[in-house]
Amino acid sequence: MLDKVKELDQEIKQFDINTPEQLELFRMKFISRKGVITELFEGLKSVPQADRRTVGQELNGLKNLAQERFETFSQLIDEQRTTANSAPPVDLTLPTIPNLTGTQHPLSLVRQRIIQIFERIGFNVADGPEIESDWYNFGALNFPDNHPARDMQDTFFVEKTSEGASSDMLLRTHTSNVQIRLMERQKPPIRSIMPGRVYRNETISARAHCMFHQVEGIYIDRNVGFKDLKDTLYHFVKEMFEPGTQIRFRPSYFPFTEPSAEIDISCQICGGKGCNICKHSGWVEIAGSGMVDPQVIANCGIDPEEYTGFAFGMGIERITQLKYVVNDLRLYTENDVRFLRQFEGL
């Protein structure tokens, strides 16, 4: 009997337990009620009385050993199983999970491009308030109080004051207010562009909106002439639009420039042949411009006898429409991802 116990003791210590299957074999052989140890306990009855106590102790030792080993290994195997589950094998052939980081808004793309073009020829970027006084939006730009030119730019008034019309507060109708603020603050040479949001009292439709964006430009220095205005805008059009785009200056009127011109380019959609976008004329207007009126320069405390300059203002929505064929202004603010996703990667 004792020899048998010794033999089993060895066997238990050397039993290979690496897998759940081996653990189960171990359990059946040594732990279960049909196992060898239970069998030996049953044989204890036939051991002579004198030896029974020693043999019983040996048997108990064997039973404990088997139980201990069983517990240690079932814990180990459990651990192996959970770590295997939390780190599944990597399949390098699976397609990647797309990294959806969103896209730049088309108006941001175009604004950035405009800034880049002008920065390269020495313009810096300036900013001004969207809630503005009547003086900066109209008065200083030579719009007299009851002048009809104001009718074209009806807007939202934020505050009527008792100090006279020029201190009424309104949402600016154009970025030209920043021209005035710059000329008041800085000595020439001034060479800046001023992108920003503007507002008008318009019914929202495919062609009009109560909020849109402009980029203003101004260059004030000694001996700045109309030729400089033309060269600058020719350069801009060449950089911004398709090669071969035609440009024309059409005489116009703005209260704050003299002479004034509107700038048209050949239609980017039909190439100048005539379509809905260009109203079958082959040309689309992209900007207003002109030589800054000496009175406006004087309004800002700069001597118009010494300094001259040009200014221009263009609509970012219009340029985006021509570049990306966006024919409904409302698309820019509706946040429809089917529209926005088309600008992915640009």
| Residue type at 312 in one-letter notation | F
Could you say which DSSP state residue 189 is in?
A: P
Identified binder of ligand DAH from the candidate list 255, 272, 290, 309, rule CB under 6 A: 290
317 binds ligand DAH (CB under 6 A): no
Q: In angstroms, what is the minimal distance from the CB of 179 to ligand DAH? A: 6
| Residue type at 182 in one-letter notation | L
Q: Which stretch binds ligand DAH (CB under 6 A): 36-44, 112-120, 288-296, 317-325?
A: 288-296
Q: Which stretch binds ligand DAH (CB under 6 A): 30-38, 124-132, 276-284, 309-317?
A: 309-317
Q: Which stretch binds ligand DAH (CB under 6 A): 93-101, 205-213, 308-316, 335-343?
A: 308-316
CB 272 within 8 A of CB 246: yes
> Which residues are within 8 A (CB) of 286 and not within 5 positions of it... i.e. 6 or more apart?
237, 263, 264, 265, 314, 315, 318, 319, 322
Nearer to ligand DAH, 236 or 312 (CB): 312
The residues with which 287 forms a beta bridge, in sequence order, are 263, 314
Strands of the chain (E only): list them: 124-125, 131-133, 157-159, 169-171, 190-199, 211-221, 247-254, 257-266, 283-292, 308-315
| Residue type at 60 in one-letter notation | N
Alpha carbons 326 and 138: distance in angstroms, whole number = 31
106 binds ligand DAH (CB under 6 A): no
264 binds ligand DAH (CB under 6 A): no
Q: Which stretch binds ligand DAH (CB under 6 A): 85-93, 283-291, 301-309, 338-346?
A: 283-291
Helices (H), strands (E): how many in the chain? 12, 10
Nearer to ligand DAH, 73 or 312 (CB): 312
| Residue type at 123 in one-letter notation | F
Nearer to ligand DAH, 195 or 288 (CB): 288
Name residue, tokens 């239609």: 267
Could you say which DSSP state residue 92 is in?
A: T
Name residue, tokens 């060479």: 191
Contact characters 128-167, ligand DAH, x per CB under 6 A: ----------------------------------------
Nearer to ligand DAH, 199 or 312 (CB): 312
Q: Which stretch binds ligand DAH (CB under 6 A): 34-42, 274-282, 305-313, 320-328?
A: 305-313
Identified binder of ligand DAH from the candidate list 106, 139, 195, 288, rule CB under 6 A: 288
CB 236 within 8 A of CB 118: yes
Nearer to ligand DAH, 272 or 313 (CB): 313
Nearer to ligand DAH, 176 or 299 (CB): 176
73 binds ligand DAH (CB under 6 A): no
Q: Which residues bind ligand DAH (CB under 6 A)?
A: 174, 176, 216, 254, 257, 288-290, 311-313
